[in-house]
Structure 1
């Protein structure tokens, strides 16, 4: 027998959110290709939104920025490395100290070249895809029933998925939504951990397979 579980529900369980309780929980699962924003209650999804902007688009934005501003062609792996090492979503006091050398092919000469880039310009390069994610969070909060919204204000928003590891993303979402935002203890593994917990506690969590919350 094969059963399906919504990815945000699995991520929420893996992140340790009390999804079985009759209270509102909000999870933002930022993967490689999509970002899932969901409000959960009573083992079900009350409402959710999916946007096709996530980790891959952030890396692509860096690639395009390097080409446009520095005339430098870089590969996917280099863009990912830049994002991990000096990428950020929100300003910090040590911004200008965070810099790295990037090697690529210079567009005009066709020869290898090295340029030094700093954190603020990489944050600027990712501003557009990050705003799409933030807007999805705001839209979901606007549609959330008042009682559940009050729970989310008390508990905060949970970030999961590889994209949650981007420095300052929790601060950006907290600043834009006005709600405290936490990063899961192991954001990369939340979905698989949650799926495993459902299998281990199948009887208690069986209702997660029905999809939508029954009290909504």
Structure 2
């Protein structure tokens, strides 16, 4: 049974989302924190993200989650506490000892799982239940995960790309690669420094990715003016960047995603393979919105490829829906 204080959390590398039954998504902000020299929290979410690469020495803006798992436990715990406090304010009630369903990457180690559970409990949770991200994404995308048919999810998130075949409510086969939104940004930063002698920050790289980043597919060329710092002179500099230039620097990364998909499909039991031809693949995660991804996969995989109606929120919707079946979920012992 639902409780008014039961919540679902998508603890993502790029964004943290919190879901409640009464108001659905009550928190949706970047997984970024800003701290002072003493380690005290100054800001989280949107307020902290605008500080990335722009803060004076006495303030540090950091991402406490990397590659889908906790990189800085203390800051993750602080982020969760503050996010749950903000969610309480929006709800107009205190989230007292809520039961929580939180998504985890496929293949997360027991140590990584325990770190997530402890961090969520430090935020005030009474019970913590874990659900694998692809399963949550499939539930959030309204796929029939409990039926004996193959549901293929490709979740291109911030830290990892998760590929999974789900049937009867569980993962039949899965693979995870560390090429996703953050890695794309890193590749763009590295490429501009190497090829154009231009230093840019994370936020500029993200803007480039969204505006002129393309999967390896033919497209109508686009250009974008980019401002940064010249490596040689140290002075501000503006260049005109071409979409095919960015496409080339991301091509190798997209090949790793393709290889993960092919490997996962090869591991699929023969009885489920026919379903994949009929049902196809569903894309979730922020990376699903990148230019040309759906068309590219349709060409190289030769099965139907669909994008979830709201790919960035599919996982948190799935955690929220899973709250209704909380008794059948795996509970992590105190």
Structure 1 and Structure 2 fold alike (TM over 0.5): yes
The aligned residue for residue 198 of structure 1 is 322
Matching residue of 1:44: 170
Deviations 1:168-208 (A, max 9, x none): 111222222111211111010011001111113557xx3x6
CA contact (8 A) 2:215 2:296 kept: yes
Number of the residue aligned with 1:112? 236
Structure 1 unaligned segments of length 5 or more: list them: 211-216
**In the alignment, is residue 16 of structure 1 matched against residue 142 of structure 2?**
yes
Alignment partner of 2:280 out of 139, 142, 156: 156
Instruction: Judge conservation of contact 1:90–1:167 (CA < 8 Å) in 2.
Output: no
Query: Does the alignment pair 1:181 with 2:181?
Result: no
Aligned residue runs from structure 1 range 24-43, under 5 A:
24-43=150-169
Aligned mates of 2:242, 2:234 — CA distance in 1: 24
Contact 1:160–1:184 (Cα < 8 Å) also in 2: yes
Report SS of the residue matched to 2:164. Answer: strand
Pick closer, same or farther for the CA change 1:93–1:57 going to 2, 3 Å.
Answer: closer
Does the residue aligned with 2:288 lie in a helix, a strand or coil?
Answer: helix
DSSP 3-state at the match of 1:123:
helix
- Unpaired runs of 5+ residues, structure 2, are 1-126
Alignment check: 8 A CA contact 2:216 2:254 kept: no
Paired position in structure 1 for 2:64 = none
Q: Is the 8 A contact 1:103 1:112 kept in 2?
A: yes
Q: Deviations over 1:79-134 (max 9, x none)?
A: 0000001111043442x2x1110001111111111000111111111111111111
- When residues 191 and 176 of structure 1 are mapped into structure 2, their CA distance, relative to the original with a 3 A threshold, is same
Aligned-residue Cα RMSD (Å) equals: 1.5
* Structure in which a larger fraction of residues adopt helix: 1
Do the aligned residues in 2 keep the contact of 1:91 with 1:120 (CA within 8 Å)? Answer: no
- Higher strand residue share: 2
2:101 alignment partner in structure 1: none
Q: Tell me, what secondary structure is at the counterpart of 2:215?
A: coil
Q: Distance in 2 between matches of 1:119 and 1:34?
A: 23
**Distance in structure 2 (CA, Å) of the matches to 1:133 and 1:194:** 23
SS at match of 1:110: coil
Task: Quote the offset at 1:65 in angstroms.
Answer: 1.0
Number of positions where the alignment pairs a residue of Structure 1 with one of Structure 2: 205
Whether the 8 Å contact between 1:22 and 1:41 is mirrored in structure 2 is: yes
Please show how residues 80-95 of structure 1 align to structure 2 within 5 Å.
80-94=206-220
Output the CA distance in 2 between the equivalents of 1:209 and 1:201: 10
Conserved 8 A contact 2:285-2:314: yes
Map 1:163-178; keep pairs closer than 5 Å. Answer: 163-178=287-302
Greater RCO, 1 or 2 (C-alpha within 8 Å, sep 6+): 1
The residue aligned with 1:129 is 253
